[in-house]
Structure 1
Amino acid sequence: MSTPTGTLTLESLSSENTFAMAQALGRLILRPCRLALSGDLGAGKTLFVQGFARGLGVPENVYVTSPSYALIHAYTARLPLYHADLYRLGHMEEVLDIGLPDLMASESVTVVEWAERMEDTEIFDIRIHIEIHGETTRKLHAQAYGLHFQDLLRSWQQVCPPA
């Protein structure tokens, strides 16, 4: 596994705070990016994507939902946003069947929940693990791969709303 070029840990004390933190990151994305999300059930991965999507420019009237059954949802924003959820996938072949590698190679932003279920997690630019610490408290552990994304994590830390 490759070594991250930057790391960051943030603490969120509420779901609203997690949403705002994700929204702040979404606002900073100006070029294609592949984002991996991991964490236990109920950690807030989909909530994170909802905030991230708003920051990226998905309109308020578009409801961002978990693609657990559809597997991939597409949204119009500053950059096209693809949101995948691999929780229900049983085999790596299914990732190929749904076309995820092609989407990740496109000029888009791709966010993958349960990304650890992929064989090749080194294709991600940013990996965020959301850790549950009590009923509403979460720790977000982010790793960046590449200098651009390392700088992005630094910028995110500066603009992140306080916990």
Structure 2
Amino acid sequence: MRVLVLAVGRMKKGAEADIADRYLKRAVQAGRAIGIRSIEIVEIRESRAPDAERRKLEESIALANVIPEGAALVLLDERGEGLGSAAFADQIGRWRDAGQEFAVFVIGGADGLSDTLREKVRMTLGFGQATWPHQLVRIMLLEQLYRAVTILSGHPYHRE
């Protein structure tokens, strides 16, 4: 299985980028042993349209253009389901074991995503009800992906 993290906006250089890179490298390295062939980040340029609806539409079209056909599509949203780390790992493992070729995690822009794209998601995942900056959401997602591959590889999870 391959994992794609699609993010509207760029991660600027600095502490956040360093943390994201660290978790990405760890997840990629640990993932190979359990059948996660790659974890890639694709950044989508933010729309400069003057109104929110047009920005949502343009960003959603750009995202849809890079989502592989048949991917397990997960939207990150504060209204999404809050999964514990073990349940998140279990879901990744079920997709992998079912032969799912791609799991795609989408971090939308500040205005959200179009309803057309939202209708295609298999899961909406949230990291609590608070609104988080996109850079921190990316870090939290990469950390959870790293944690999921370590759980799936049999590494003892500290909460069990």
Query: TM above 0.5, one fold?
Result: no
Higher share of residues assigned helix: 2
Larger radius of gyration: 2
TM-score, length of structure 2 as denominator length? 0.31
